[in-house]
Structure 1
Amino acid sequence: MRNWSPFPLSPKTMLARGALRPLSLRRSGLCQGRQGAVLRAVTCRGVSAVSSAQDAAVPPGLPRPPEEIPGPRRWPLLGSLPALTARKDWDPARIHLVWEQLAKEYGPIFRLDAPGQESRVFISDSRDIEHLMRETAYMPTKPMFDSIATVRNHSRNIERGKTGLLSEQGDEWWRLRRLTQPPAMKVKTVAHYLPDIDLVAQEFLDRLPEVLDENNEMPHDFLQELFKWALETLGLTAFSRRIGCLSNSPEGLEVIRIIHSLMKGMQACQVEPGALWRWIPTPAYRRFKSAHSELEEYTLAAISDAQKKLEESDVEHLNLLDQVLLTPGLSRADVLVFMMDFLLGGIDNVSTTTAFTMLNLAQHPEKQARMQEELDQVLGAGEEAITTAHLNRLPYTKGCVRETLRQAAGLI
């Protein structure tokens, strides 16, 4: 898979999350020549970020001071904020487009400073991204989710400093990851619910004609339909029950509202000028905290129901929630933050990956035809439920999804 790509597209601009946290790319031999070019290593607060730009004035392997990282003009206290807000293309709701334009203006590595926040380095060279991912695989730093940590550190149901995989760093992140990865990655869990997952997918397809616009095309907010499908699917594997997102049940609509509000509030906090929510409860922070409290209560209710069932009888098939509840070393608070992160991260990854895969296939009809041919050969008319045996015979389909993940991975 590493040397094969079904979509001839260039890598997307990506944010090097936490690139200015303590990290040494030099110790893994990153500061070496690459294809005849001299790597530029930029060190900021003990961190090396790399770019493939040639620079004859700097010996290979030597770091440069952080002040030399290019980027918009920086002011004392205000950082890059004045320069960003003065841009004609400035739009917090479409901040990724601003990042993309900055990469064109300043090159494959640039720096932004925001008031009240640590400086951040953005990288867009696919090789640099690979180096960063490999170097931080076991101890990633995720400053994008510090608003979650703040809210959870003030929750009566969550232990301070143990706020979950999304927001914790270092040893605490690794402790929770090490304990939750085995149940989360069990193929048997997915295999058991595969017929139900297939049924949900069929219901989603049957629903599509109802959401087409006046031109008989997918609406501009089609991602929200994928969002509902993803949440309904995750509800099966996590809680062994249907939430009702595709049928617009009261519970389904309520869960969708909560998660929409939470994600919108989190985004508002992260792009809020000056990050004032760190010091005062801004409207964006209050909305985010309120939505998080609702998701917390919903997840706690699911945990209580699962614990009751486990105590009253022997459960034949353990879902994800059952398995983490029975995992030694995990407290009830650990289970709470993990299940909330599972829902948030799962919805983002499943819906976004599906959307980008569909986009890639639409842009490359010859690849779509090849994928359709493979599906027809393996699944036939689609009258029987999908099994793991079917999935094992779909290498090209899997390749398309993996290539999408390489190009446009989800935020969470």
Structure 2
Amino acid sequence: MIAEISPRAQKVIDTLRKFVNEECIPNEERYERELGVGAERWEREPPVVDELRAKAQELGLWNLFLPKEYKEGAGFTNYEYAHMCEIMGTCSSLAPTATNSNAPDTGNMEVLAKYGNEQQKQKWLVPLLQGRTRSAFAMTEPAVPSSNATNIDCRLIRTQGGYIVNGKKYWISNAGHPRLSLFLAMVRSGKTVQEIMDSPVKTGEYDIHKQHSVVIIPANAPGVTVVRPLTVFGYDDAPHGHCEVIFDNVFIPSENMILGEGRGFEIIQGRLGPGRLHHAMRAVGTAERALRLLINRALNREIEGVLLSDRGVIIEWIAKSRIEIDACRLLVLNASHAVDIKGARNSKKEIAMAKVEVPNLVLKIVDRAIQLFGASGVGQDTKLAEMYAHTRTLRLADGPDEVHLQQLGRNEIKQFKRNYDGKSRL
């Protein structure tokens, strides 16, 4: 079933498309120039960003991501936002940030809006919604296989008036941003993995999904050290970066606990579902941009007196890319509509299918464009290499393909067993 788009949402979609095409994309080169070189890339956000943010606010293109059930949001459905997010994906370096709809802040703001108390919302959420500060989500760790979140081992220990946090995190997006104000950190607040394994009881205090909490760690708290930015195929993604971070005896007050001790899994399941979908939404826009570049190159490049656009193999690439983009879009729209109807918790199947298939197909499309551009396709003169690097990380971010495929496959088998008891016709 195809959901409807409200007239208000359609107006925003049209305005956003114009804003991205006429304001964001033309300013990509200026953004790169203003980033500067060396250490200065981490000292400030390029001035063009604040200029675009001011224009976006004037146009009503602000905080578009929060679903309509949140009073703090713009009031759109996930299905409507999927169309907006795709447009932003055509200029991923500027459009999401310009509209205050960029990851990981979107997921963090949704956590605070959904699970935070009023004090936490006033102190941490309001500045994020206003675009005055930035945030990071500290989950992945180098010492454990973090694709299974039950392994997360950054320790939270109670102390007088609050907690002490100790651990190392890495690939923490936004951790290098000069406006960073807080980390939302996934920490182990209960039993160790070994204690759970050794216990014959797996319920109550030994329930594997009750051992973690999510806490707010101020970015300027003593003991917080951003060690270094980590590169993605050589891209450091300044000024936000994906960093290695150490929490060394960091004290946080009791009021920085979100929802309650042992409720970390409940929180991250609510956060990661929409986050995975947002990545897929933007990736569709990335594919559209790559196809634009591919076709433009084909129409303006001759080899042996023949335009590339007249060669059969290139025509076939273009046709396949169109089919794949439209298939990706339908997967994303189906998943976003499912979330609107059933909620994220009951839409894991649809979200997982989009999360797995979309990045894989988008990589194919970007790779074709790179091939058509030749050597310049892997350099800095086009956006293609950057597109490829970022899209490739999506096959790992928020759970690798294999984890989601395992769960999808197992659920299909369970469904089959429920429907066919050995007596029914296949």
Verify same fold: TM over 0.5. no
- Give the TM-score taking structure 1 as reference length: 0.28
Higher strand share: 2
Q: Per chain length, whose mean CA-contact separation is higher, i.e. which structure has more relative contact order (CA < 8 Å, sep 6+)?
A: 1
